[in-house]
Amino acid sequence: MHPIVKLLVQRIALGLLLLLAVSAVIFLGVEALPGDTAQAILGQSATPQALENLRAQLGLSDPPLTRYFNWLGGILTGDLGKALTNGADIAASIKPRLANTLFLAGCAAVIAVPLAILLGLVAARYAGKWPDKVISGITLSTISLPEFVVGYIVMYIFGVKMGWFSPTAMTFPGMSFWDRLHAVALPVIVLVLVVLAHMMRMTRAAILNVMQSAYIETAELKGVTPMNIIWKHALPNAIAPVVAVVMLNLAYLVVGVVVVEVVFSYNALGQYLVDHVTKRDLPVVQAVGLIFAGVYILLNMLADVIGIIANPRLRHPK
């Protein structure tokens, strides 16, 4: 078997095993939460018999291992179960909210990824000089603040004082694409500011590391301009660590948007998760947690695959 194919199969198999392990951790973690689901649904005035009947109806009286495999089997067939609080189908409820989360993350990624790489290239080109210091200072100052602080600052400046955007990111079915863009502008700004510094710094570090190579010195001796050296010679050979950090931040844009969605009252997966955590709706919490874990593992696995394919030693083994 070709070395690159072998490594790809290993990475994919490892990702699937990791997802299985994470599903067990999520199930056990949710099970360990304090409180009684049946009590939360029926209230404090419920009789012991009513509580016992509801537990039996919801399958809460079954052994944990049985409930785990029943839950896992349902997920493999596309059945995420029903919410305990209202009986709604979880998969049907998650679908539009997941689309909203992906839309928000996609808008932020379209801006943040090319901007971070461009700023990283400029910072590497002028390493130690004022452009590098200005770019690093501004980006690091934004990442030093928690997301909710950045969110409230952005909301106050652009939503309250200037009135350019609505302070809340309210969307609804039937909105045009441009109306949705306008509605999510503020959370997109926050997410871009939060992830920009990490990607920019990693791009800069990867480029500067490659710039120490002998073939870069050869290109300089041949009279190649500094920007062409970075763009044509350094960046292609630094692509693996850059892709890794980009994928890591893309995973954050999908998984880590809970705080931003709550701050801006954005009807997406993070807000849906927070609402049902407070209600102790275990099937919903488990389903959303597994989706977040799956996205995170998938994007990191994709980063590994791209890094393997981008490695010339693996593409052309001796």
Residue 281 lies in a domain: yes
Tell me: the pLDDT tens digits for 89-130? 888 888 888 888 888 888 888 998 889 888 888 888 787 788
Read off the pLDDT band of 39 (50, 70, 90): low
**pLDDT confidence of residue 251:** 82
Tell me: the pLDDT tens digits for 50-80? 777 777 766 666 777 887 888 888 788 877 7
Residue 252 CA to residue 250 CA, distance in Å, equals 5
* 136 neighbors 222 (Cβ within 8 angstroms): no
Domain count, the chain: 1
**pLDDT confidence of residue 312:** 60
Residue 310 has pLDDT above 80, yes or no: no
* 286 neighbors 30 (Cβ within 8 angstroms): yes
Cross-strand bridge partners of residue 89: 82
Residue 144 lies in a domain: yes
Read off the pLDDT band of 42 (50, 70, 90): low
Residue 315 has pLDDT above 60, yes or no: no
Residue 73 lies in a domain: no
Tell me: the pLDDT tens digits for 276-294? 877 777 788 888 888 888 8
The label of the residue with tokens 């800069």 reads 204
Residue 3 lies in a domain: no
Q: What type of residue is 299?
A: L
**pLDDT confidence of residue 309:** 72
Residue 52 lies in a domain: no
Residue 35 CA to residue 60 CA, distance in Å, equals 13
CATH number at 118 reads 1.10.3720.10
Of 43-52, 90-99, 210-219, 232-241, the range with the highest mean pLDDT is 90-99
Against a cut of 0.75, is the pTM above it? yes
Q: Which domain holds residue 281?
A: 95-315
Residue 71 CA to residue 81 CA, distance in Å, equals 8
Residue 296 lies in a domain: yes
Tell me: the pLDDT tens digits for 130-170? 888 888 888 777 777 777 888 888 888 888 888 888 888 78
**pLDDT confidence of residue 200:** 86
Q: What's the average model confidence in pLDDT over 2-6?
A: 71
Residue 125 lies in a domain: yes
The DSSP string of the chain is: --HHHHHHHHHHHHHHHHHHHHHHHHHHHHHTSSS-HHHHHH-TT--HHHHHHHHHHHTTTS-HHHHHHHHHHHHHTT---B-TTT--BHHHHHHHHHHHHHHHHHHHHHHHHHHHHHHHHHHHHTTTSHHHHHHHHHHHHHHTS-HHHHHHHHIIIIIIIS-SS-SS----TT--HHHHHHHTHHHHHHHHHHHHHHHHHHHHHHHHHHTTSHHHHHHHHTT--HHHIIIIIIHHHTHHHHHHHHHHHHHHHHHS-HHHHHHTT--SHHHHHHHHHHTT-HHHHHHHHHHHHHHHHHHHHHHHHHHHHH-HHHHS--
Residue 41 lies in a domain: no
Tell me which residue of 138, 159, 151, 157 sits closest to 108, measured CA to CA.
151
* 144 neighbors 157 (Cβ within 8 angstroms): no
- Crossing angle, helix 185-210 and helix 90-125, to 10 degrees? 50
